[in-house]
């Protein structure tokens, strides 16, 4: 069976985040709710970061990547606080894609960041619960947006390299579907 070209294949870079925001239907009220949680997030981010690195440092395979835990604690804190920024524009999209790319470039298997959503979502939802179930729903949307964007950085890299090798993104996509 021939896989046809898909409309989604033409969506790139920051436009991916715009598309997902549209699909998630994040409302200005939800953005404002999340932004109103800055103080609660700041008061609780340390507990999230502690658990995050405890888990990664406890496992031999993930520990191997953590060369500067103090610096990573700072960048993860900033990343987590930005989930509660209430502003998810093109600059946010570009920065989230760049963060995903950093992980691709250190050779980190994507299963580890995805697994760490367990820690991030638990702490984030607990913080959001201070403003009730609507804020928890809003937090879940933004975390889904971030997860998809992080993963997109991995796919972008695969596609880029395969496109360079084959000279055609279309051919690269067909290779990835197993068609060629």
- In the complex, the smallest distance separating the C-beta of residue 84 from ligand HEM, rounded to whole angstroms, is 14
CA–CA distance, 156 with 170 (Å, rounded to integer):
13
User: How many residues of this chain bind ligand HEM (CB under 6 A)?
Assistant: 18
Based on CB atoms, which residue is closest to ligand HEM, 108 or 176? 108
Site for ligand HEM in 96-115 (CB under 6 A): 98-99, 102-103, 106, 108, 112-113
59, 149, 164: which is closest to 104 by C-alpha? 149
72 binds ligand HEM per the rule CB under 6 A: yes
**Angle, to 10 degrees, between the axis of helix 133-166 and the axis of helix 90-105?**
60
- Among 24, 116, 143, 148, interactor with ligand HEM by CB under 6 A: 116
79 binds ligand HEM per the rule CB under 6 A: yes
Choices 33-41, 71-79, 83-91, 157-165; region in contact with ligand HEM by CB under 6 A: 71-79
Based on CB atoms, which residue is closest to ligand HEM, 5 or 13? 13
Based on CB atoms, which residue is closest to ligand HEM, 138 or 153? 153
Rg (CA), the chain: 18
Residue whose token pair is 């870079």: 13
CA–CA distance, 166 with 39 (Å, rounded to integer):
50
110, 93, 114: which is closest to 16 by C-alpha? 93
CA–CA distance, 14 with 95 (Å, rounded to integer):
9
Q: Residues in the site for ligand HEM, rule: CB under 6 A?
A: 56, 62, 65-66, 72, 75-76, 79, 98-99, 102-103, 106, 108, 112-113, 116, 150
């Amino acid at each position: 069976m021939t896989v046809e070209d898909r409309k989604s294949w033409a969506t790139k870079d920051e436009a991916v985040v715009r598309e997902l925001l549209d699909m998630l239907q994040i409302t200005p009220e939800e953005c404002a709710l999340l932004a109103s949680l800055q103080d609660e997030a700041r008061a609780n981010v340390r507990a999230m970061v502690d658990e995050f690195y405890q888990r990664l440092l406890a496992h031999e395979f993930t520990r191997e990547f953590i060369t500067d835990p103090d610096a990573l604690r700072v960048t993860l804190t900033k990343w987590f606080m930005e989930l509660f920024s209430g502003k998810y524009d093109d600059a946010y999209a570009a920065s989230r894609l760049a963060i995903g790319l950093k992980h691709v470039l250190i050779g980190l298997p994507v299963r580890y960041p995805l697994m760490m959503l367990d820690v991030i979502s638990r702490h984030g939802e607990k913080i959001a619960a201070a403003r009730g179930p609507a804020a928890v729903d809003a937090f879940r949307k933004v975390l889904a947006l971030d997860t998809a964007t992080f993963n997109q950085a991995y796919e972008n890299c695969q596609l880029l390299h395969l496109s360079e090798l084959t000279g055609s993104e279309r051919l690269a996509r067909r290779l990835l579907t197993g068609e060629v």
